[in-house]
């Protein structure tokens, strides 16, 4: 009997640990900061170092004027997590932490533009049931509009706008704009933080927004910290594994019990026969 109890205990401990790991995963403490003075701890590419090739002294003195291509903005090589917070009256009212990439996919041109947190400035406003966050960089901006629906206990974003001046191809246009105002993004309970590892939003005109490692909260932020996470469907912990393990152990316990009881009956029967 003691053995069965032990197995049961081990089963509970195992299940609890699995679930704890699931929730722990995205609980990285978000560094808080104001919109003006935010720092980006994850940024490896320093803005001070230009990525243009260094001009090496050439041995050839006869430098004929080469046809230099038009200066193109060098895209960032790596996705970097940005912390984009809005502060109103010294109170953080909107927090967003994510990696962002704008992707163009059309028959004429394909390409990606990685948003550089170190060169991006958040702005916007927080109202009672509406908030907007604009991330501005030298090539354009991305705007999100959030809503708070108290009857549904939900906060979500319905509008994303992207404007980008960037030459994805040599022949195509350099100016891209798209807006989608019928989205249902980043839905979380009020006071909770939306959390998602990876998602793609289609904005329009062949423009996609790839959002990775994101945590967002637009309303009811207390102490400048993210609330408990509400995971996107893709990230919701899979309880089926835990349930399957539990059932298997239960069956094992029943078998052990039956064997034990049968053994005891045989033993007592044996004593009686003496």
Ligand X SMILES: *[C@@H]1O[C@H](CO)[C@@H](O)[C@H](O)[C@H]1NC(C)=O
Q: State the residues that interact with ligand X by CB under 6 A.
A: 105, 107-110, 123-125, 132, 145, 190-191, 220
CB of 243 to ligand X, least distance (A): 30
CB of 46 to ligand X, least distance (A): 29
Question: Which residue, 110 or 268, is less far from ligand X as judged by CB?
Answer: 110
What element of type H or E holds 251?
A: helix 239-273
Question: Which residue, 66 or 184, is less far from ligand X as judged by CB?
Answer: 184
Question: Which residue, 75 or 246, is less far from ligand X as judged by CB?
Answer: 75
Question: Which residue, 160 or 242, is less far from ligand X as judged by CB?
Answer: 160
CA distances from 155 to 24, 55, 92, 149 (A): 23, 51, 16, 6
Question: Which residue, 119 or 154, is less far from ligand X as judged by CB?
Answer: 154
CB of 220 to ligand X, least distance (A): 4
Question: Which residue, 53 or 128, is less far from ligand X as judged by CB?
Answer: 128
CB of 124 to ligand X, least distance (A): 5
Identify the sign of the CA torsion 31, 220, 135, 101. positive
Question: Which residue, 167 or 191, is less far from ligand X as judged by CB?
Answer: 191
Question: Which residue, 26 or 141, is less far from ligand X as judged by CB?
Answer: 141
By the 10 Å C-beta count (0-12 exposed, 13-18 middle, 19+ buried), 162 is classed as buried
CB of 76 to ligand X, least distance (A): 21
CA distances from 57 to 62, 63, 66, 146 (A): 12, 12, 16, 53
Residue labelled with tokens 């962002």 = 100
By the 10 Å C-beta count (0-12 exposed, 13-18 middle, 19+ buried), 53 is classed as exposed
Residue labelled with tokens 């995205």 = 26
CB of 159 to ligand X, least distance (A): 7
C-alpha 87/C-alpha 72 separation (Å) is: 34
C-alpha 110/C-alpha 103 separation (Å) is: 7
CB of 83 to ligand X, least distance (A): 18
CB of 52 to ligand X, least distance (A): 26
**Could you tell me which residues come within 8 angstroms of residue 191 by beta carbon, excluding any fewer than 6 positions away?**
219, 220, 222, 227
* Residue 157 · residue 209 · CB < 8 Å: no
C-alpha 27/C-alpha 225 separation (Å) is: 11
């Amino acid at each position: 009997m003691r053995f069965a109890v032990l197995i049961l205990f081990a089963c509970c401990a195992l299940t609890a640990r699995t679930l704890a790991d699931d929730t722990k995963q995205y609980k990285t403490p978000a560094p808080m900061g104001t919109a003006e003075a935010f720092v980006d701890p994850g940024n490896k590419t320093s803005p001070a170092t230009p990525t243009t090739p260094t001009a090496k002294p050439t041995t050839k003195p006869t430098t004929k004027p080469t046809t230099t291509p038009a200066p193109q903005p060098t895209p960032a090589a790596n996705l970097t997590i940005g912390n984009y917070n809005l502060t109103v009256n010294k109170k953080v009212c909107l927090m967003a932490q994510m990696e962002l990439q704008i992707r163009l996919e059309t028959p004429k041109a394909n390409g990606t533009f990685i948003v550089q947190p170190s060169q991006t400035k958040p702005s916007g406003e927080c109202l009672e049931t509406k908030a907007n966050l604009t991330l501005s960089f030298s090539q354009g901006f991305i705007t999100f509009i959030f809503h708070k629906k108290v009857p549904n206990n939900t906060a979500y974003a319905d509008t994303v706008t992207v404007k980008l001046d960037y030459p994805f191809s040599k022949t195509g246009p350099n100016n891209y704009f798209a807006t989608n105002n019928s989205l249902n993004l980043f839905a979380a309970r009020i006071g909770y933080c939306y959390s998602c590892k990876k998602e793609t939003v289609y904005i329009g005109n062949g423009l996609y927004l790839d959002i990775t490692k994101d945590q967002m909260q637009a309303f009811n932020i207390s102490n400048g910290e993210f609330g408990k996470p509400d995971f996107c469907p893709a990230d919701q912990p899979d309880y089926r594994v835990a349930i399957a393990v539990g059932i298997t152990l239960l069956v094992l316990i029943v078998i052990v019990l039956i064997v034990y009881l049968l053994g005891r009956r045989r033993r007592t029967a044996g004593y009686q026969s003496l």
